[in-house]
Structure formats: C-alpha cells, structure tokens
Amino acid sequence: MRDDAEVRVGKSEAQAPAEGEGSGGDIQVIARVVTLLECLEPDSPSLDTPTTAKALGVGRSTAHRYLVSLEKRGLLQRRDATTYELGPVLCRLGTLALSRLGILEAAWPVMRELSGEIENTVVLSVWGGRAPVIARVAPYSSRITTISVELGRSLPPDAAQTRIFAAYHKLGRGGGSPAAGHLRAVDDEELRSVGGVLTARQVYAGGGFKTIAAPIRTPDGAIVATLAVIGLAVFMPESDDDRVAEQLVAAIARIGVS
C-alpha cells in the first residue's frame, strides 16, 4: 500500500505546475509582462494604470506596481506623471534584434554617402510587426539646427515610410508585411513614381519638417525596408522634391539586397 501511495504522490507532484506557473506552463509574471508590452502600438504607444489593469485583469494597485517595476528595470520609462512608454532596455534590445538583418549593414555606407549628398538626415526603417520601426540613422549634423531621430521608434500610420509599406502590401509585393488592417489605406495620388519606384512625401508639424521615402526591395520586388530623407522643410523646399526623390531612388539602387 505504501509503495502505491508513494507512486501516486510522485505522479501528482510531477503533474502539478510550479509556483507561479499558469496552466500552459508559462510563468505567470512573464506572461503578464508580455501581454502588457503587446498593448504598445503606434496609435497607442504608452500605458497607464487603467489600461494596464484592464489588460492584465488585475486591480489598479497591482497594475501600478507592474508599471513601477518595469520602469525600475528600464523596460518602461515615464512619459509624464501618469503614462509610461518604451524604456531604454527595450529600445536597445530592439535595435540589437534589427541589427541582425543584413540590410542594415548593406545600406549603411550608402546612407552616409546620401546624407552628405543631400545635406539632410537619412533613415532606414524595417517592418516591426505592427508598424515600420527606425532601425538605422545617418544624421546630417553640419547645421546648428538638426532633427533628432530615435532608433527603435515605431512610425505612425500617416508616415511616408508606412505609406510605402502599405502600397507594396496592396500591390501584393509586401513580403513579410502584415495584414492590411494594420496599415493606413493609401490612395494612388499620395504616391509618385520615380524611375518606376514608388515614393511618398510627408510634411509634418505645420510644415516644420519633411520626409521623402522609397522602398528597398529584393530582386523579385518584395519590400524589405524603406529608406527616407528627413529634414527641416526650410532646407527641403518643394522645388527640390523631385531631385531629392531621384537621388534617393538612385541610392537605393546601390544597395545590394538578396
């Protein structure tokens, strides 16, 4: 009898989840953190206590403790007194993950050359799951006034780079692009063809600065990234848009993509 009982107890203990594990074998706190971080999207890039409580199914005091703990570890950082956004640790890890893509190394010398040619900052963005993410920046810093571009930043739906991804997804050449529901609808008149390549233009902040973007594609036409010129509108007059777009397209042609 004792041997049978010991066997039964052993089986029961082997089947019981470890402390803090969910029914699927997940460690509960890790599963909750992932659930929380997945709430961060381009159109809602921050978290607050009510949103956290709803996402995790916990009370507000518990939700607040999660946010504070994530801030202490650098996964989040405070935007203001009540909201949090991606912290330095996640931005660094995201950049490291993006750096594994060969396109970043292939594009880098071309980006630096283009930045000097057009005297404005050049950025490369890749698809980050829900939106384009800035993966590399070649800054132009020879002026007193410059634009700061943050690595790892997700781009909004109306960004020129996002519109380029949307256009190629609509054409059925999106490669690893997401479902159309994550992308802003793009009308043909928003895009211009330069040498057979679609380009997009966007003016921000009441005309304060401008972006012109174009796709980086594989030989079979699938989009893998976007390259964009970003600068203060005063240094990117509308009369230069065609020239800048042509230089941008020519630079992309020099990037070897397999």
CATH number of the domain that 81 lies in? 1.10.10.10
Do 99 and 119 belong together in one domain? yes
Q: Is residue 258 part of a domain?
A: no
Q: Is residue 57 part of a domain?
A: yes
Do 97 and 208 belong together in one domain? yes
Between the two ends of the chain, the Cα-to-Cα distance in Å is 68
| pLDDT for residue 43 | 62
Number of domains in the chain: 2
At which of 17, 51, 86 does a domain end? 86
Cα 215 to the chain's mean position, in Å? 16
Interatomic CA distance for residues 109 and 111, integer angstroms: 5
Lowest mean pLDDT among 34-43, 132-141, 153-162, 176-185: 176-185
Do 73 and 107 belong together in one domain? no
Between 78 and 90, whose confidence is greater? 78
Do 106 and 125 belong together in one domain? yes
CB-CB contact of 32 with 56 (8 Å): yes
Do 45 and 101 belong together in one domain? no
Stretch (H or E) spanning 133: strand 132-138
pLDDT score of 26 more than 70: no
Collapsed DSSP state (helix, strand, coil) of residue 29: helix
Lowest mean pLDDT among 17-26, 90-99, 188-197: 17-26
Q: Is residue 16 part of a domain?
A: yes
CB-CB contact of 98 with 126 (8 Å): yes
Q: Which domain covers residue 211, as residue numbers? A: 93-253
Which neighbouring-strand residues pair with 41?
44
pLDDT score of 192 more than 90: no
Do 210 and 138 belong together in one domain? yes
pLDDT score of 6 more than 60: no
Do 176 and 98 belong together in one domain? yes
Do 79 and 204 belong together in one domain? no
Do 15 and 141 belong together in one domain? no
Do 79 and 185 belong together in one domain? no
Do 82 and 104 belong together in one domain? no
At which of 64, 86, 108 does a domain end? 86
At which of 86, 110, 137 does a domain end? 86
